[in-house]
């Protein structure tokens, strides 16, 4: 674990992070669910697919990943020659935790005629056991390339899988995992908020349960929700995903109002991802300074996991921003 007492007193963290970024030839990647101060100093902020692509393309020597562990693992799988650091190695994901590799292997063995289409929010071991990885912005395009009569296992997010099944009339077998953040939205509280703002559309991430999705005007990945926020004609938008994304909306459209969808207690604090929230400026500074904690993956495992990620990048190529789950014309 990183020793935060090792931070010299009185330093300007932002300046030091900038200095280290240059000294290390590092690129800082951040997900939209990161704290605003981390989003603001990142070289690139994006959704899971965009961040994977950036990690594969960058010519930096070091990737400092402000996100969760499966995202930093993905960066290392795609860029093994680079040093990949994660500010807090405890930054996990409830979806990854829900899907232990041995149980996933047994599930696959029970259904030998099925291919495994797997959400990127999983461990490297589960990626290695999968045929094709998807993100929420590539799932639709990829699913459409798979013949209707091909049986599919979809894991670990049962809500994303269920949404795809309903939208495309598929019958994928679903792993029973959920995102604890999206699971915490309350339909009752959402409808109360909607009654106070009847003109405001609702944008929801497909990790939400159907009780939330059914009320949404737009369903899609974080980047597609952001795109919707930039183009919807009204003044107020209700956002049913992790609320740190609202930072980008307020920066782009300061004249509009963005309301985080509520949890059961009527406010949205329970919808802050506790794993993403572990990353801080202090920990980012320390990981750039010490080049620890570092992601390491055994080469045989990495190559197996890379095959399913490469398949995703190939099948999703040229489709970023098009054919997204959130594209109403798709
Ligand atoms: P996207 O940014 O790909 O929509 O993923 C959301 C998420 O939950 C990441 O953990
Ligand atoms: Fe995992 Fe949900 Fe947090 Fe994303 S928001 S990292 S899916 S727990």
207 CA: nearest ligand 2 atom: 7
| DSSP assignment string, 167-215 | HHT---EE--B--HHHHTB-HHHHHHHHHHSTT--EEE-TTS-HHHHTT
Q: Whose atoms come closest to the Cα of 244: which ligand?
A: 2
Q: Select the more confidently predicted residue: 319 or 217.
A: 217
48 CA: nearest ligand 1 atom: 3
Separation CA 23–CA 25 (nearest Å): 6
- Which residues share a beta bridge with 133? 118
Q: Select the more confidently predicted residue: 114 or 267.
A: 114
pTM, entire model = 0.93
Enter the DSSP assignment of 8. Answer: P
135 alpha carbon – ligand 1 mean position (Å)? 7
Which pLDDT does position 22 carry in this prediction? 97
48 within ligand 1 shell (Cβ under 6 A): yes
- Mean pLDDT lowest for which of 40-44, 237-241, 260-264? 260-264
91 CA: nearest ligand 2 atom: 6
* Assigned token pair, 190: 């959402």
Q: Are 251 and 40 in contact (CB under 8 A)?
A: no
Separation CA 274–CA 65 (nearest Å): 16
Beta carbons within 10 angstroms of residue 204's beta carbon: 27
Enter the DSSP assignment of 154. Answer: E
79 within ligand 1 shell (Cβ under 6 A): no
């Amino acid at each position: 674990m990183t020793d935060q007492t090792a931070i010299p007193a009185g330093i300007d963290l932002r300046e030091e992070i900038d200095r280290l970024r240059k000294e290390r030839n590092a690129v800082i990647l951040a997900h939209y669910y990161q704290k605003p101060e981390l989003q603001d100093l990142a070289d690139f902020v994006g959704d899971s697919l965009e961040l994977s692509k950036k990690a594969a393309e960058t010519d930096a020597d070091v990737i400092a990943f402000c996100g969760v562990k499966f995202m930093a693992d993905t960066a290392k799988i795609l860029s093994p020659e680079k040093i990949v650091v994660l500010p807090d190695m405890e930054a996990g994901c409830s979806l990854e935790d829900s899907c232990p590799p041995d149980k996933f292997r047994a599930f696959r063995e029970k259904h030998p005629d099925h291919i495994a289409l797997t959400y990127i929010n999983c461990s490297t071991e589960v990626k290695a056991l999968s045929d094709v990885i998807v993100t929420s912005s590539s799932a639709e395009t990829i699913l459409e390339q798979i013949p209707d009569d091909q049986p599919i296992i979809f894991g670990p997010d049962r809500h994303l899988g269920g949404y795809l099944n309903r939208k495309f009339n598929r019958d994928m077998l679903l792993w029973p995992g959920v995102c604890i953040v999206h699971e915490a939205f309350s339909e009752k509280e959402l409808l109360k908020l909607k009654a106070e703002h009847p003109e405001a559309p609702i944008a929801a991430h497909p990790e939400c349960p159907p009780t939330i999705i059914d009320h949404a005007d737009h369903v899609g990945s974080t980047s597609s929700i952001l795109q919707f926020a930039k183009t919807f004609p009204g003044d107020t938008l209700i956002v049913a995903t992790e609320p740190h994304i609202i930072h980008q909306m307020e920066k782009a459209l300061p004249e509009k109002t963005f309301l985080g969808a509520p949890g059961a207690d009527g406010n949205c604090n329970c919808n802050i991802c506790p794993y993403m929230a572990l990353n801080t400026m202090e920990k980012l500074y320390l990981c750039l300074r010490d080049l620890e904690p570092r992601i390491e993956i055994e080469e045989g495992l990495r190559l197996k996991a890379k095959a399913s990620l490469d398949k995703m990048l190939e099948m999703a190529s040229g489709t970023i921003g098009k054919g997204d789950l959130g594209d109403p014309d798709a």
